[in-house]
Amino acid sequence: MLKADVTIIGGGPAGLVAANVFARSGFHTVLIALKTVPGDRRTTALLAASVEMLRVSGLWPAIAPHTAPLATMRIVDDTGRLFRAPEIAFEANEIGLDAFGYNVENTPLVTCLGASAESRPTLTWLDATAEDIAIGEDAARITASDGTVVETALIAGSDGRNSPSREAAGISVRRWKYRQAAFVANFGHDAPHHNASTEFHTPSGPFTLVPLPGDRSSLVCVARPDAAEELAAMAPDALSAEVERRAHSILGRMDLEGVGQVFPLSSFVAKKFGANRVALIGEAGHGFPPIGAQGLNLSLRDIASLVEIAEDVRRVGGDIGGPKALSRYDRARQPDVWSRTLGVDALNRALLSDFLPVQALRGAGLYLANRVGPLRRIMMREGITPRFRLPKLMRGHKPDPAA
- pLDDT, tens only, 370-388: 655 666 666 667 777 766 6
Most confident of 265-279, 288-302, 355-369: 265-279
Q: Which domains occur in the chain, in start order?
A: 2-175+267-395 (3.50.50.60)
For range 46-51, the mean pLDDT: 93
In 314-355 the beta strands, taken as DSSP E runs, fall at: none
d(CA 69, CA 100): 8
Give the pLDDT confidence score for residue 372 in this predicted structure: 59
Distance CA 283, CA 266 (A): 12
Q: Where are the beta strands (DSSP E) in 92-172?
A: 101-105, 123-126, 130-135, 140-144, 149-157
Judged against a pLDDT cut of 90, whether residue 302 lies above it is answered with yes
**Cβ atoms within 10 Å, residue 30:** 27
Please give the model's pTM, rounded to 2 decimal places: 0.91
Note the Cα 143 to chain centre separation in Å: 28
- For the CA atoms of the chain, what is the radius of gyration? 21
Query: Cβ(175)–Cβ(267) under 8 Å?
Result: yes
Higher pLDDT, 78 or 71: 71
Could you report the per-residue pLDDT of 112-162, keeping only the tens digit for each?
Answer: 999 999 999 999 999 999 999 999 999 999 999 999 999 999 999 999 999
Query: Among candidates 383, 329, 313, 307, which has minimal Cα distance to 57?
Result: 307
**Which residues pair with residue 205 across a beta bridge?**
202
Longest dimension (CA), the chain: 66
Residues in the chain: 403
Query: What is residue 170's DSSP assignment?
Result: T
Report whether pLDDT(96) > 60. yes
**Rounded distance between C-alpha atoms, residue 327 and residue 231, angstroms:** 45
